[in-house]
Chains A and B, each alone.
Chain A
Amino acid sequence: MSEIATPEDNKLPERQTTRLESSLLRLGTIGELLALLVRGGKWWMLPLVLVLVMLGILLVTIQAFEAVAPFIYVAI
């Protein structure tokens, strides 16, 4: 029997997260980020961060939904 490992042998079984769970985790991350800025007195960064986070969600959405991508490409 071959002892040579294949690429499949090196993989961990991944956990399939539901869309809801994934979204809740992302919202949690955004909340933590905003709280961090507020606690540190960096109020002035909130508008910038909110815009960036929305851009980030858009990027992630593009990656998740192929149907959206053509419209985004046209818009930018």
Chain B
Amino acid sequence: MSCWVLGISALYHDSAAVLLRDGVVVAAAQEERFSRIKHDRALPTRAVKWCLDEAGITTADLEALVYYEKPLKKFERILVTLVATSPFSWRNFVLAMHSWLSDKLWLKNALVSKFAIAPDRILFSEHHLSHAASAFFASPFQEADVLAIDGVGEYATTSLWRGQQDAGTLESIAEIHYPHSIGMLYSTLTAFLGFVVNEGEYKVMGMSPFGEPVYLDKMRQLVEFHDDGGFSLNMKYFAFTHHSTTPYSPKLIELLGEPRFPGSDFTPGETNSQHYANVASSLQVLTEELLLHLVKHAHKTLGGKNLCLAGGVALNSVANQRIARESPYENLWIQPAAGDAGGALGAALWAWRSILKGEDRYTLERCDLGRSWQRDEVRGILNDLGIEFEDLGSIENAVQRAADELAAGGVIGWFQGRFEWGPRALGHRSILADPRTEEMRDRVNARIKFREAFRPFAPAVLVEHADDWFDIPDALRPSMHYMMATVPVLEEKRAEIPATTHVDGSARAQLVDKDKQPVFHQLLSEFHQRTGVPVLLNTSFNLRGEPIVSGPIDAIATLLRSELDALYIEGFRVVRVD
């Protein structure tokens, strides 16, 4: 009889649900894919329903429902912080108490009623333990050192663990506590640079190559590096502990100048824009220095060969490359949904291995863990909506046709198979285009994604040709199947794929493997045959401000509201009829 474990994360950002059967992931999805609310933080009732339906079970069949953190411990930390920063934090106090007293404190009641589960089946992991478990217990390593780095969980913002697969354990080695947090540092400067916190951090990473780290010395005043491998923030520059809207203090403005007005133009090279690009660049270098400081100390303390990274800061793909090249570790593994959504995976895996003593190991080898739609379902929806479409007969025919269209300069929506787990589109819910011209980058940014012009695009490349185009450190290879790091495009190739080469010559490349992604690999191969370039521009299939598309209706809606040339969906081709 199977043992079913459901892990969930919720209430802060990126709710998600992950279902294990005997320790193997059978379904995983973020709630936003179903609710269509970006970064949805509500209890993931829709994602859970789909997970259970996919497995053909109900919550009565669950051995355990595991929540990814300890809410009461988090409440304690919030209260302690608010008292310590009073009376300045009175606004935060009112907001927090309303949220907690009417809702979050009574989470157990909500879990019992919303998921129809007995209270004794509910387990609570810990936030950083969930992050660490999501990385280690899904990794290919027998043993590993594990670093989890984020904004904050209950108290921890940074944690070091030692993982042993045989014992099914993660031993806590060290922690750094709030408010000393790399995630909060990065988020504070994200807000300073005029972007939305927990959403704009990617944009800061994209902005940083346009600048130089000329403010690095000033940035270093924001933190203190400790000889014991830790660090602390210089809190006189930060206000996030007590201010409800502005996370930086007037001291930071004195140090770095006026903050960037949200939504203001960013024109690389223009004086004002250059200043902010330099701030972004300086922040990025400081973040990398902090991460390397932690990583080197972890190795000095534990001496392992393998390192796993998790937590929202592990989504910093630029820093991950530096860690791979400069740290003493031989192998690196970064869980694709490294942020809070991944906590659902970690909570479930922790419960399976450490509480239920499940012996079967799980290694995450592919990311297509979400919902799929069969051809008949898609045809039914297209007919119900009265959408004209062309039936190409098979996925293989669709690949041929799509490759032709891409080689001729078309920009297509590509919808195939189960949707991806994590924030990246990896060839199942992607917008694809020819990377060979700069105009393509500008076109996709302006007329399809409606994004800021400075935002780069990522390339997907056939794994067997990757080393001919990119300089990839061996330690990073496994994680690059999930687009977790930027690497340099080889200098002689940059002019051939300008749409996916950022201004500093880097790219957040995805390695595409025939065994793991046969259809996407075939599409790339067909494009390669036609053009001599084994690379496609691969960006997420969504419009700005929306989650990545989940089902056919989302895909069609995105087609109709953008200038995509066509949508390829499970062997059908759909175009806009103006």
Residues of A within 8 A of B (CB): 1-4, 10-17, 21-22, 25-26, 28-29, 32-33, 36-37, 40, 42, 45, 48-49, 52-53, 55-56, 59-60, 63
Residue of B nearest to A2 (CB): B384
Task: Give the number of chain B interface residues (Cβ < 8 Å).
Answer: 36
> Is the beta-carbon distance between B109 and A56 smaller than 8 angstroms?
no
Chain B residues with Cβ under 8 A from A45's Cβ?
76, 79-80, 83
Residue of A nearest to B34 (CB): A10
Further pairs besides A10-B34, A14-B114, A15-B112: 20, Cβ < 8 Å: A2-B380, A2-B384, A3-B380, A3-B384, A10-B46, A12-B45, A12-B48, A17-B109, A17-B113, A21-B112, A26-B106, A26-B109, A29-B109, A36-B76, A55-B97, A56-B100, A56-B101, A56-B105, A56-B106, A59-B102
**Residue among A12, A29, A32, A33 with the most chain B CB within 10 A?**
A12
Query: How far, in angstroms, from A53 to B380 measured CA to CA in the complex?
Result: 52
A11, A33, A40, A55: which contacts B49 (Cβ < 8 A)? A11
> Is the beta-carbon distance between B380 and A1 smaller than 8 angstroms?
yes
> Is the beta-carbon distance between A25 and B115 smaller than 8 angstroms?
no
Chain A residues with Cβ under 8 A from B97's Cβ?
52, 55
Query: How far, in angstroms, from A67 to B108 measured CA to CA in the complex?
Result: 26
B555 vs chain A, min Cβ distance (A): 13
A10, A25, A37, A49: which contacts B119 (Cβ < 8 A)? A25
Instruction: Determine if B72 is an interface residue (Cβ-Cβ < 8 Å).
Output: yes
Residues of B within 8 A of A (CB): 34, 45-46, 48-49, 52, 59, 72-73, 75-76, 79-80, 83, 97-98, 100-102, 105-106, 108-109, 112-117, 119, 377, 380-381, 384-385, 553
Chain A residues with Cβ under 8 A from B106's Cβ?
25-26, 29, 56, 60
B40 vs chain A, min Cβ distance (A): 13
Chain A residues with Cβ under 8 A from B83's Cβ?
45, 48
> Is the beta-carbon distance between B113 and A49 smaller than 8 angstroms?
no
B47 vs chain A, min Cβ distance (A): 10
Chain B residues with Cβ under 8 A from A63's Cβ?
102
> Is the beta-carbon distance between A37 and B112 smaller than 8 angstroms?
no
> Is the beta-carbon distance between B108 and A25 smaller than 8 angstroms?
yes
Query: How far, in angstroms, from A33 to B104 measured CA to CA in the complex?
Result: 13
Query: How far, in angstroms, from A28 to B119 measured CA to CA in the complex?
Result: 11
Query: How far, in angstroms, from A43 to B367 measured CA to CA in the complex?
Result: 47
Query: How far, in angstroms, from A55 to B98 measured CA to CA in the complex?
Result: 10
Chain B residues with Cβ under 8 A from A22's Cβ?
109
B49, B101, B119: which contacts A52 (Cβ < 8 A)? B101
Query: How far, in angstroms, from A24 to B80 measured CA to CA in the complex?
Result: 27
B379 vs chain A, min Cβ distance (A): 9
* Total of A-B residue pairs, C-beta within 8 Å: 91
Residue of A nearest to B98 (CB): A59
Chain A residues with Cβ under 8 A from B112's Cβ?
15, 17, 21, 25
Residue of A nearest to B79 (CB): A45
> Is the beta-carbon distance between A4 and B384 smaller than 8 angstroms?
yes
A1 vs chain B, min Cβ distance (A): 7
> Is the beta-carbon distance between B101 and A33 smaller than 8 angstroms?
no
> Is the beta-carbon distance between A40 and B76 smaller than 8 angstroms?
yes
Query: How far, in angstroms, from A12 to B80 measured CA to CA in the complex?
Result: 37
Query: How far, in angstroms, from A2 to B381 measured CA to CA in the complex?
Result: 7
Chain B residues with Cβ under 8 A from A3's Cβ?
377, 380-381, 384
Chain B residues with Cβ under 8 A from A36's Cβ?
72-73, 76
Query: How far, in angstroms, from A55 to B112 measured CA to CA in the complex?
Result: 23
**Residue among A1, A15, A48 with the most chain B CB within 10 A?**
A15
Residue of B nearest to A59 (CB): B102
> Is the beta-carbon distance between A10 and B72 smaller than 8 angstroms?
no
Chain A residues with Cβ under 8 A from B380's Cβ?
1-3
B48 vs chain A, min Cβ distance (A): 6
> Is the beta-carbon distance between B46 and A13 smaller than 8 angstroms?
no
A2, A17, A48: which contacts B79 (Cβ < 8 A)? A48
Query: How far, in angstroms, from A48 to B242 measured CA to CA in the complex?
Result: 18
Residue of B nearest to A16 (CB): B113
Query: How far, in angstroms, from A28 to B79 measured CA to CA in the complex?
Result: 20
A-B contact pairs, 29 of them (CB 8 A): A2-B380, A3-B384, A10-B49, A12-B114, A14-B114, A15-B115, A15-B117, A16-B113, A21-B112, A28-B119, A29-B72, A29-B108, A29-B109, A32-B72, A33-B75, A33-B105, A36-B72, A36-B76, A37-B76, A40-B76, A45-B80, A49-B79, A52-B79, A55-B97, A56-B100, A56-B101, A56-B102, A59-B102, A60-B106
A25 vs chain B, min Cβ distance (A): 5
A9 vs chain B, min Cβ distance (A): 9
Chain B residues with Cβ under 8 A from A56's Cβ?
100-102, 105-106
Chain A residues with Cβ under 8 A from B384's Cβ?
2-4
